[in-house]
Structure 1
Amino acid sequence: MAEKRANSPTSLRRLVAVAGILLGTVVIVSGWTATGNVAARSRELGEVEPTIPSFWDPKRRIERPPAGSVPAIRFLTTSDFPPFNFLNEDGRLSGFNVDLARAICDELAIRCTIQTREWDDLLRALRDGNADAIIAGMAITSEARQELDFSDVYMRSPGRFVVRADSEPFEPTVEGLAGKTLAVVARSAHEAYLAAFFPEVGRRLYATPEAAREALKSGEADAHFGDGMQLSFWLQSDAADNCCVFAGGPYLESRFFGEGMAIAMPRGSADLKQAIDSALASLYEKGVFAELYLRSFPVGFF
């Protein structure tokens, strides 16, 4: 079975890796915690603080499995997927996925280990019984579900519009975009989404996300539609130079943008799945998830 990281059109792993390269040494120096000038500029423009995404039904109550049924969790991840799992400047395994795995085990009051493997070795280690779960951005697909159980989704990367900060305000709706030029990457999920839901809007196609973003920054385009997570890193980078801000809200249609990120485990891991799902819901209710989210994503993308 061919494994993929979550999200389209390339993969969430590829998109976030590009974002990490884009930020360069700033990523390591900041430790993924600095809010930067973009957040301040957004507040000046009257925008609200970053929205914390919620993927859990507050009315749903998940019972913990019987005591002792999940005495420990052996997580596997990779070390090349910033800001989710990577080695920091001290060589320490860090990132959102790493923090979340540790928080899950703290919430369950059980022992937690997190080991790194190469991406291609993750499933093999799980099959061989050398781990209990994978937290590394594995795509949720029908093929993967034949072999794996997945926890509740804990992260998604929506489509988002960005506009220049000095432009006249307009809503990124069919009416608001009338007469505007919209930059989008050719043959991407984002182009397909626009063709389906914004067919009348004028689109200018670009070969890469970098080219589309530069078109917006230079004034060649009035707006850009792309991956929200990738854009959040660009907005706080030197390349953006405080040029632009998010406009409108997130677009989450799974047939275009994927089902999101979840923790993978062997099929039939009922107690483990129940334990992880209950911990995820509790972490959100207690505000721990929000703390972890803002630590890794100071410029929120929801």
Structure 2
Amino acid sequence: MRQARQRKEAFQRILLRTVLAGALAWTATVPLPALAQQAQNNASGVPMFWDPQRRLERPDTSALRSLRIITDDEYPPFGFTAADGLLTGFNVDLARAICDELKVSCTIQARRFDTILDTLDKNEADAAIASIAITPRNLARADFTQPYYRTPARFVTRTGTVLDDPRPETLAGKVIGVQARTAHEAYLQKFFSAAEIKSYDSALALRSALKRDEVPVIFGDGVSLALWLNGSDAEGCCAFRGGPFLESSYFGEGVGIAVKRDNAPMRRILDFALARLAQRGVYAELYLKYFPIGFF
């Protein structure tokens, strides 16, 4: 029962953290190019947020001996406690990889999510890798690295449905399912107004409707949809169609590593480490380990 409740809360918190927090502050003047399926992906489908050709200048790390990193252990697969009692997950493995890249010792501890930024502010940790969205509200409390992942919007259909290029003209007159009162619903209403938009009260109801073939295509948060497609609940029913939609005024600026406000040296060190992990292929390995069906 506890595990089922945690899985349910995990899906809800994905939407809360990285879609609704700041994403609903959209304007009605988003240009049409926002419809483009935007992502710098490599051939494997792994998102790339760093220029692989950029020559990296290592910041001064001579005084850095260790890193105190905090995370969240109730957010699988990003952070959770395994059966052996050890912290694991995408965020946790990324934290360890950063410490290895910088050749420093690493202390990783779990904190309740709503206390993480306070912990940074009290100098009780150097960095937080906990799927914290880069929003104006969070930027008022902490500084952030460049995003290490973003939460794109994606279209999903049943596996037998052909939909190679989901765009306003190809979906005109078609029924599209979406969760009510979300940035995804607002986006469809703005750009896919020629479609018939059918709203559902919850992400679970939306996915269930697609699985039962009550609606031919749905639009929603790529991360939670990827977790569903990767899991047993989907039973192989469905698949992503088209590419990711990343319009930041609807779907947010992404997720970064948080550090204490005005700690520019630490932020630069972590940005360097992230870029190095991307160049060396470590980031791609971690992404594919946890998201074999990626959200991009």
Structure-1-length-normalised TM-score: 0.82
**Structure 1 vs Structure 2: percent identity of aligned residues?**
47
Aligned residue runs from structure 1 range 114-125, under 5 A: 114-125=108-119
CA-CA distance at 1:170 after TM superposition = 4.7
Query: Do the aligned partners of 1:50 and 1:300 also contact (CA within 8 Å) in 2?
Result: no
Measured at CA, do residues 211 and 120 of structure 1 come closer, stay the same or move farther in structure 2, by a change above 3 Å?
closer
Equivalent of 2:234 in 223, 231, 240 = 240
Q: Secondary structure at the match of 2:20?
A: coil
Q: State the SS of the aligned residue for 1:255.
A: helix
- Mapped partners of 2:231, 2:142: distance in 1: 37
User: Within 5 A, what are the aligned runs for 1:244-283?
Assistant: 244-283=238-277
2:7 maps to what in 1?
none
Aligned residues: 264
Gaps of 5+ in 1: 13-47
User: Does residue 109 of structure 2 align to residue 109 of structure 1?
Assistant: no
In 2, Cα distance between equivalents of 1:267 and 1:60: 27
TM-score for both structures, normalised by structure 2: 0.83
- Deviation of the 1:5 alpha carbon: 6.5
Distance change (3 Å), C-alpha of 1:216 and 1:65: same
Secondary structure at the aligned position of 1:8 is classed as helix
Cα deviation digits, residues 122-175 of structure 1 (max 9, x gap)? 223222221111111222122322332111110111100001111244521122
Is structure 2 residue 23 aligned with structure 1 residue 6?
Answer: no
Aligned equivalents of 1:169, 1:118: Cα separation in 2: 41
1:217 aligned residue (197, 205, 211): 211
Residue 94 of structure 2, aligned match among 92, 100, 107: 100
Most deviating of 61-70 and 111-120 = 61-70
Match of 2:129 in 1: 135
Amino acid at match of 2:138: A
Separation in 1, partners of 2:224, 2:128: 23
- Give the aligned partner of residue 52 of structure 1: 46
Distance 1:78 1:260, change over 3 A: same
Aligned equivalents of 1:141, 1:238: Cα separation in 2: 33
Give the letter for the 1:181 counterpart. V
Partner secondary structure for residue 6 of structure 1: helix
Letter in 2 for 1:95: G
- Cα deviation per residue 1:251-290 (whole Å; 9 max; x = unaligned)? 1111111111111111222221111111100100110000
Give the direction of change, closer, same or farther, for the CA distance of 1:132–1:275 in structure 2 (3 Å limit). same
1:66 shift after superposition: 1.8
Q: How many angstroms does 1:121 deviate by?
A: 2.5
Deviation of 1:293 (Å): 0.3
Unaligned residue ranges in structure 2 (runs of 5+): 1-14, 24-41
Q: Pick the aligned partner of 1:199 from 171, 193, 203.
A: 193
Cα RMSD over matched residues?
2.2
- Judged with a 3 Å threshold, the aligned counterparts in structure 2 of structure 1 residues 62 and 146 are, in CA distance, closer, same or farther, namely farther
Distance 1:181 1:121 in 2: 42
Are residues 1:76 and 2:70 paired? Answer: yes
Q: Give me the whole-angstrom Cα distance separating, in 2, the residues matched to 1:124 and 1:165.
A: 45
Aligned counterpart, 1:43: none
Counterpart amino acid of 2:71? T
C-alpha deviation, 1:58, in angstroms: 3.2
- Whether the 8 Å CA contact 1:161–1:224 is kept in 2: the answer is yes
Instruction: Name the counterpart of 1:296.
Output: 290
Q: Which residue of 1 aligns with 2:179?
A: 185
Cα pair 1:170 1:176 within 8 Å, conserved: no
SS of match in other structure, 2:184? helix
CA separation of 1:5/1:148 partners in 2, compared to 1, >3 Å: closer, same or farther? farther
Indicate how the Cα distance of structure 1 residues 168 and 156 shifts in structure 2: closer, same or farther if over 3 A, else same: closer
